[in-house]
């Protein structure tokens, strides 16, 4: 299913969406990030749509907030209670030059009205 058009799922279906690499894949186009990539915007809006009020979008990403925040905070169609932390892990692969790899863990909570009320 196309994550930017999840037509098989109703609004307010999920408590949690776990993203390990989807956002990174859409952001891997090699251009400077300006916060207006149509696929990233569609992904975010679609995940927001299928999350229940208070539902969480948990993201494990290689992208720091200066890349992701223009999307997370810049779309007036979605509202997240957003926070993140970083996790620095030692790189045990000898072929690579980099000694450490940093992952960014995002916790986005959908702030929207409960349709049942």
71 exposed, middle or buried (CB, 10 Å; 0-12, 13-18, 19+)?
A: buried
**pLDDT score for 89:** 86
Enter the pTM of the model. Answer: 0.86
- Contact assessment for residue 5 and residue 50, using Cβ atoms and an 8 Å cutoff: no
**Within a domain: 20:** yes
**pLDDT score for 94:** 61
**Within a domain: 116:** no
pLDDT confidence tier of residue 37, bands split at 50, 70 and 90: confident
**Within a domain: 7:** no
Total domains in the chain come to 1
**Within a domain: 55:** yes
**Within a domain: 71:** yes
**Within a domain: 97:** yes
What is the CATH number for 49?
3.40.50.150
Per the listing, tokens 């916060």 go with 35
Q: What is the pLDDT of residues 8-25, one digit of tens each?
A: 999 999 999 999 989 998
pLDDT over 90, % of the chain: 56
Q: What is the pLDDT of residues 67-104, one digit of tens each?
A: 888 888 888 999 999 999 999 988 776 665 667 788 99
**Within a domain: 4:** no
- Contact assessment for residue 26 and residue 45, using Cβ atoms and an 8 Å cutoff: no
pLDDT over 70, % of the chain: 89
Q: What is the pLDDT of residues 42-56, one digit of tens each?
A: 999 999 999 999 999
Task: Give the domain extent around 40.
Answer: 14-110
């Amino acid at each position: 299913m196309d994550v930017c058009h999840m037509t098989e799922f109703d609004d307010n279906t999920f408590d949690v969406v776990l993203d390990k690499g989807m956002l990174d894949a859409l952001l891997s186009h090699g251009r400077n990030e300006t916060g207006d990539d149509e696929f990233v915007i569609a992904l975010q809006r679609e995940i927001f749509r299928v999350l229940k009020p208070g539902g969480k979008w948990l993201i494990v990403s290689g992208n720091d907030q200066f890349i992701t925040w223009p999307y997370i905070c810049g779309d007036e169609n979605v509202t997240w209670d957003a926070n993140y932390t970083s996790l620095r892990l030692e790189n045990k692969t000898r072929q690579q030059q980099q000694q450490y790899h940093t992952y960014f863990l995002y916790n986005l909570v959908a702030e929207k009205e409960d349709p049942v009320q």
